[in-house]
Amino acid sequence: MGSYLNPGNEAFAVALNSEIYVDKTGLLTYTNKVMNTLQGYICNSRPRRFGKSFAANMLAAYYSKGCDSRKMFSGLAISQTADFEKYLNQYDVIHLDIQWFLSNVSDPEQIVAYITECTLAELRTIYADQLPPEVSTVPDALSRIKEATGQKFVIIIDEWDVLIRDEASNQKIQDDYINFLRGMFKGTEPTKYIQLAFLTGILPIKKLKTQSALNNFHQYSMLNPGPLASYIGFTEDEVSALCQKYGQNFEEVRRWYDGYLLGNYHVYNPNAVTSLLLDGTFQSYWSETSTYDSMVPFINMDFDGLKTAILEMLSGAAVPVLVTSFKNDMVSFVNKDDVLTLLIHLGYLAYNQQTQMAYIPNEEIRQELTTAVESKPWNEMLLFQQESDKLLDATLDRDCAAVAKQIEKIHNEYTSVIQYHNENSLSSVLTIAYLSAMQYYFKPVRELPAGRGFADFVFLPKPEYRSDYPALIVELKWNKNAQTALQQIKDRNYPASIVQYTGDILLVGINYNKDTKEHECVIEEYRKR
């Protein structure tokens, strides 16, 4: 058993011994299926605290010859599969944590040499006869071992992208590292000695021009999780079961920590959910990650439309984003889409693969982004917040004329002329107009199934504000009148679906007249029976 070659299972044992453990051994079912195939080259990127190292440690514990993990995996999902023992502890595993190497080398430019030195030293402890002194590279060593013994390798690299992120400005380090990886994984010869390759980090593999530097890898990310979707974070079913076990309100947990849509799965940050269940406090656990400090400069970049997009998302809207131009690094930004794509990979935004829209996934992230924006105040943000404050105050005061006036002002100033008369424009305006509400309310629910129809907007107050802030049910009309909107709320009994979640409820009807360009509003308090 070595540190890098054929490691033990102690790291995975720590996860198993933890109070909260969610079985993700289904990932092993998939990797077993793609063993020794062209699909057996996997790069699985995900944000910090989404279980990257957990996955790497699990794979090492299962495949490594350096330990006996039969008892450890017994009773887990993988043990019920037909191939469980076929692959269990059967391979020479090389497990490299690039973050660890970077932390232990005095000069980052020597990191490739250090990785090579350490890996070769351990290979020689087992395969000294196959590795004469002139062997100086890892790929050469692996090739010779395979030729002499027939033994193939499972290679696992954790934090594969740490040099791309932490040494972003040092091109030499990045070139040396990428060349090291290409030598190990690219071409015909590596297919002879690699049984499985698994890279995990925050970023997908760096692009060289328009193509991945390791284009033989299948990349599964927050943009396209593919068959690994249910193994990236906790699924909704898993969180629901944990909430039941720990006596937490699942709906409340969903508002705070849900929002990542990966394939057909709603995915939650495991660290946030685990911290909540153990601490019992609804709050943001995100700022403890090291990506937070690096995120602030990116949202302050001077790209056309970037600040507007972030403003819209802070207000609860989704914005279109073109993700294909991003170079998968921390320096090659050419437009706002590249910045938004990075924020998706970092976990600060979620991405809907079908609609190709980005959005803020949940209350936890909304708080972090708000803090980041306020750390270097934007004039746009300050001015808009003032207008939004006026609108919220007028709504709570049931000052219908003031509400109509503020909506009209925001509609005129923050909506493009081209889109002004688009029927969806009023809905978009309402989304951003109530930005100030995000301090006291959860993200507005759009098209909430309620009573005998769908309410346009529903603002539910956060638990700590329910005694002072009413829920808001907002219905919009176009070329009709505000009273009609209000009557629809009543006739279709929209409040019925939220009375159990809140205290007081205000019903808000809003209309925009396309011909007169006037807005009108009526507000009425809902009387509970």
Q: What whole-number distance in Å separates Cα of residue 311 and Cα of residue 514?
A: 26
For residue 288, the model assigns a pLDDT of 60
For residue 33, the model assigns a pLDDT of 97
Q: Tell me: do 188 and 250 sit in the same domain.
A: no
Q: Tell me: do 430 and 317 sit in the same domain.
A: no
For residue 443, the model assigns a pLDDT of 82
Single out the residue in 376, 399, 427 at which a domain terminates: 376
Single out the residue in 376, 391, 416 at which a domain terminates: 376
For residue 418, the model assigns a pLDDT of 38
Residue from 270, 232, 195 nearest 26 by CA: 232
Evaluate whether residue 2 is within a structural domain. Answer: no
The domain in which residue 342 lies consists of: 221-376
Q: Tell me: do 250 and 283 sit in the same domain.
A: yes
For residue 453, the model assigns a pLDDT of 58
Evaluate whether residue 1 is within a structural domain. Answer: no
Q: What whole-number distance in Å separates Cα of residue 487 and Cα of residue 508?
A: 10
Residue from 36, 56, 37 nearest 152 by CA: 36
For residue 452, the model assigns a pLDDT of 57
Q: Tell me: do 182 and 41 sit in the same domain.
A: yes
Residue 156 is part of a domain; what is its CATH number?
3.40.50
For residue 15, the model assigns a pLDDT of 95
Q: What whole-number distance in Å separates Cα of residue 463 and Cα of residue 467?
A: 8
Single out the residue in 351, 376, 401 at which a domain terminates: 376
Evaluate whether residue 3 is within a structural domain. Answer: no
For residue 307, the model assigns a pLDDT of 83
Q: Tell me: do 32 and 157 sit in the same domain.
A: yes
Q: Which amino acid is at 136?
A: S
Q: Which residue has the tokens 């539910």?
A: 460
Q: Tell me: do 371 and 234 sit in the same domain.
A: yes
Parts of the chain with a pLDDT under 70:
1, 210, 287-294, 375-381, 414-426, 447-453, 529
- DSSP letters along 273-301, please? HHHHHHH---S--GGGSTHHHHHHHHHT-
For residue 517, the model assigns a pLDDT of 81
- DSSP letters along 188-230, please? HHHHHHEEEEEEEESSPPPEETTEETTTTSEEE-SS--GGGGG
Q: Which amino acid is at 484?
A: T
For residue 29, the model assigns a pLDDT of 97
Extract the tokens encoding 240: 């629901």
Q: Tell me: do 225 and 365 sit in the same domain.
A: yes
Q: What whole-number distance in Å separates Cα of residue 382 and Cα of residue 255?
A: 26
Evaluate whether residue 359 is within a structural domain. Answer: yes
Q: What angle (nearest 5°) sits at the alpha carbon of residue 160, between those of residues 34 and 207?
A: 85
For residue 157, the model assigns a pLDDT of 98
For residue 450, the model assigns a pLDDT of 57
For residue 305, the model assigns a pLDDT of 84
For residue 420, the model assigns a pLDDT of 45
Q: Tell me: do 400 and 364 sit in the same domain.
A: no
Cβ pair 217, 40 in contact under 8 A: no
Cβ pair 336, 329 in contact under 8 A: no
How far, CA to CA in Å, does 227 sit from each of 35, 143, 308? 15, 30, 34
Q: How many domains does the chain have?
A: 3
Q: Tell me: do 369 and 385 sit in the same domain.
A: no
Q: Tell me: do 113 and 147 sit in the same domain.
A: yes
Q: Tell me: do 208 and 293 sit in the same domain.
A: no
Residue 401 is part of a domain; what is its CATH number?
3.40.1350
Residue from 470, 438, 432, 211 nearest 327 by CA: 211
Q: What whole-number distance in Å separates Cα of residue 323 and Cα of residue 339?
A: 9
For residue 414, the model assigns a pLDDT of 66
Per the document, the length of the chain is: 529
How far, CA to CA in Å, does 255 sit from each of 221, 345, 362, 363? 23, 21, 6, 6
Q: Tell me: do 158 and 269 sit in the same domain.
A: no
